[in-house]
Structure 1
């Protein structure tokens, strides 16, 4: 399923989606609102064994937004790493942006990614902010951003040359968490200069931070991410 596009896209946005009917429409709308020409973008959504209307929402969006090329793939085995690897293999753009299905891109994000890529950085993490006005939600992601800036932690959603991604073998499909962190660490060990793009942002849902009473989700999520950063529990269920 795809709309008409002229030539090869410069950027492919890869989105793994499992039971994301509530969020995926807004995620796609944020891509359609990019300041970069839509004819030079491609969206690859990988339905990762959903049991809801995720695929239907994607198809309806594609039908209503003919200027943007949208492809829907299916990976039945639940695994973010596996779904993203499939999307990256099938993508045709020179640059990949990995975007979560419950997140939205700033309108200038693709433009900033292309500027940074052309500036000599083949890969880079992207500033993440809370899609929320709640002070605790915002503080949590501010703390994550501080780690990226002060301690050179490269993780979460990022962009990457497709050629580099495939050359490094993509994500480790044994991992349930921090597959992005592990990939970017591998890229750095191979000699790639991995930057952090802070001139734009991705707003993401804080739902994981709210899944326990008394806001204990903040603590459990932080501890889990910290352990994963240290290389502990990356293959545990998440």
Structure 2
């Protein structure tokens, strides 16, 4: 973790019951949007609230559902997000918001009833500019359940604190999942970077920390997350995420944690092993050089062992265990492939098509 310096800018005290503005980018969420909105409107928060939906051009009927909900609930407002870019949608929603606390939410998430109340109390108690809690992924039986299990597993997403559960201590953090933010700090650093299409949360909190603000993790804050439900959507999501992480490495260099470099190292060792194996098998590589190059096999063998351990230590039948191992491999290798592309050539116009294609 990278805690904020002691000279962090001092934020004004929050009023006893501050108003809260929820901001949510929305695109093709027909199966999730109503539950997500219901969890927001049911928040046990005594202050005023509003929900601003940054609505992209959905093709699955989401727009009609959103318009119906907005007509029935005065707290819901809609802003257009014609290009569907998440940071642009967030900034558009924030620009028309009215309250000093901004809560980012996604249409694939559902908030615990006391999420906002505890979040506001933690903001006031810590003086943080941005804070987040723990993602609790869940899924319907099959691929989505396996993906959720991978998200929640220590084998899944590389050690991000917000996947750690109760064992993670409360305290300063590198980033904030589904941030609860002070409007003053958000405005001070210029909001979300609209040139990014993925990784905007991490980059935003990175700028907050560099400006001296405090980013905080409260593991008692819980958000239910519904992940992708097919192999193809999962792969496309993680390729896009990896590409944009590679772009952030190009932009920010050593500010990126070392854990982000493990998957691409694994991928490169796998590729090298595929090239070397027939050369070793046919005797083209031999002697000292052959033994030295054989060290490349250690990466794939260690990863295979990790998948075996992950499958053996999870729950369910043989199919569930194999599916879980397969999900881990798709997540890690798709992300790694995207990362290499992003580092080598930059993100350019890469987009996450996992919500727009079948």
Within the candidate set 137, 140, 147, 2:160 is matched to 147
Conserved? CA contact 1:94–1:163, under 8 Å: yes
For the aligned residue pairs, the C-alpha RMSD in angstroms reads 3.0
Aligned residue in 1 for 2:148: 137
- Give the drift of 1:227: 7.6
Aligned residue in 2 for 1:160: 181
Q: Which has a greater percent of strand?
A: 1
Q: Deviations along 1:6-35, whole A, 9 cap, x unmatched?
A: xx9711110000111221111001112212
Instruction: Measure, in 2, the Cα distance between the counterparts of 1:218 and 1:81.
Output: 28
Instruction: Measure, in 1, the Cα distance between the counterparts of 2:347 and 2:230.
Output: 19
- Give the drift of 1:155: 4.4
Instruction: Measure, in 1, the Cα distance between the counterparts of 2:234 and 2:179.
Output: 28
Q: Where in structure 2 are there 5+ consecutive unaligned residues?
A: 1-16, 162-167, 236-322, 353-358
- Closer, same or farther in 2 for the Cα pair 1:145/1:198, shift >3 Å? farther
Matched, 1:33 2:147: no
Instruction: Measure, in 2, the Cα distance between the counterparts of 1:175 and 1:97.
Output: 20
Within the candidate set 25, 28, 38, 1:16 is matched to 25
Alignment length, in residue pairs?
Answer: 226
Instruction: Measure, in 2, the Cα distance between the counterparts of 1:189 and 1:225.
Output: 27
Within the candidate set 44, 48, 57, 2:52 is matched to 44
Aligned residue in 2 for 1:193: 214
The secondary structure found in structure 2 opposite 1:42 is: strand
- Closer, same or farther in 2 for the Cα pair 1:97/1:28, shift >3 Å? same
Instruction: Measure, in 2, the Cα distance between the counterparts of 1:32 and 1:64.
Output: 12
Q: Deviations along 1:45-85, whole A, 9 cap, x unmatched?
A: 0102223322221222233345xx11011111121111111
- Closer, same or farther in 2 for the Cα pair 1:208/1:177, shift >3 Å? farther
Aligned residue in 2 for 1:110: 116
Conserved? CA contact 2:57–2:63, under 8 Å: no
Instruction: Measure, in 2, the Cα distance between the counterparts of 1:222 and 1:64.
Output: 43
Within the candidate set 69, 72, 75, 2:78 is matched to 72
Instruction: Measure, in 2, the Cα distance between the counterparts of 1:212 and 1:164.
Output: 34
Which sits farther off after the overlay, 10-19 or 211-220?
211-220
Matched, 1:59 2:73: no
Matched, 1:124 2:135: no
- Give the drift of 1:187: 0.3
- Closer, same or farther in 2 for the Cα pair 1:121/1:9, shift >3 Å? closer
Conserved? CA contact 1:47–1:54, under 8 Å: no
- Closer, same or farther in 2 for the Cα pair 1:157/1:212, shift >3 Å? closer
Conserved? CA contact 2:147–2:229, under 8 Å: no
Conserved? CA contact 2:147–2:228, under 8 Å: no
Q: Which is higher, the Rg of structure 1 or of structure 2?
A: 2
- Give the drift of 1:136: 5.4
- Closer, same or farther in 2 for the Cα pair 1:92/1:142, shift >3 Å? farther
Within the candidate set 86, 105, 118, 2:92 is matched to 86
Instruction: Measure, in 2, the Cα distance between the counterparts of 1:226 and 1:142.
Output: 21
- Give the drift of 1:180: 0.4
- Closer, same or farther in 2 for the Cα pair 1:167/1:207, shift >3 Å? same
